[in-house]
Amino acid sequence: NAGVTQTPKFQVLKTGQSMTLQCAQDMNHEYMSWYRQDPGMGLRLIHYSVGAGITDQGEVPNGYNVSRSTTEDFPLRLLSAAPSQTSVYFCASSYRFWGNTEAFFGQGTRLTVV
Amino acid sequence: GIQVEQSPPDLILQEGANSTLRCNFSDSVNNLQWFHQNPWGQLINLFYIPSGTKQNGRLSATTVATERYSLLYISSSQTTDSGVYFCAVRGSNYQLIWGAGTKLIIKP
């Protein structure tokens, strides 16, 4: 049982490049989400999904795209990287989005855009 | 929306000391979690505690939902306890709403 697995752990991109951050969970969780954490701050929600085929925007969705084709995977795509997207990205999952909603986090991806 | 406030913002203690961290929230919630973010940036689940009291080793937490606060107790602090402690509650679109954190430094 690996929990929530994020790849890569570190990434450097040039402005304008695109990339996909991978997130997978093996706990059969319905709810998955992506957050970003900027220095000295709490986490802010980018996008979330309440089940396969269903996604929605969070607090800071601009510049990011997501899809949820399976229960296990929830990739985050950066369409055209900008220096403002330099941050640490966390993927999280919960068994449900109601009731017991304890969240489990991946190890994070530290992204630098130059 | 729900506001989450944590206190104190910073705490410096000697190894072996005890501490209490507080989390206040502005509205009723049915989900509250405490996390420890270690110096390497990893987020570690400490407690899922919408109400009541839980204990795990040297750590314990109490949430009084009717009074809209939660407390995290750390006893006999160790240097490995250093890092930032966050509380987070579930908001209206299922997102976690985070406090600003308490930065804890344990000196040997």
SS3 A28: coil
Structure confidence by residue, pLDDT tens digits, A47-91 = 999 999 999 999 999 999 999 999 999 999 999 999 999 999 999
Q: Between B84 and B1, name the one with better pLDDT.
A: B84
Share of chain B above pLDDT 70, in %: 98
CB within 8 Å: A48 and B93: yes
CB within 8 Å: A58 and B93: yes
In angstroms, the CA A83 to CA B102 distance is 28
Among candidate residues A107, A109, A106, A110, the one with its CA nearest the CA of residue A27: A106
Structure confidence by residue, pLDDT tens digits, A87-106 = 999 999 998 777 668 899 99
Q: Inform me whether the pLDDT recorded for A1 exceeds 70.
A: no
Measured CA distances, B78 to B14, B22, B35, B36, B39 (Å): 8, 19, 17, 14, 14
Q: Inform me whether the pLDDT recorded for A42 exceeds 90.
A: no
Judge contact between A7 and A108, C-beta under 8 A: no
Which residue type, as a one-letter code, is found at position A7? T
Query: Percent helix, strand, coil in chain B (nearest 5)?
Result: 5, 55, 35
Q: What is the pLDDT of residue A2?
A: 75
Q: What is the pLDDT of residue B29?
A: 81
> How do beta strands A10-13 and B96-98 pair?
unpaired
In what helix (H) or strand (E) does residue B45 lie, and over which residues does it extend?
Answer: strand B43-48
A9's tokens = 């752990």
CB atoms within 10 A of CB A99: 9
Find the closest chain B residue to A87 by CA distance.
Answer: B41
Among candidate residues B72, B91, B94, B93, the one with its CA nearest the CA of residue B83: B72
Structure confidence by residue, pLDDT tens digits, B56-68 = 999 999 999 999 9
- Whether residue A31 lies within 8 A of chain B, CB to CB, comes out as yes
| Least Cα separation, residue A82 to chain B (angstroms) | 22
| Least Cα separation, residue A87 to chain B (angstroms) | 12
> How do beta strands B96-98 and B83-90 pair?
antiparallel
Q: What is the pLDDT of residue A57?
A: 94
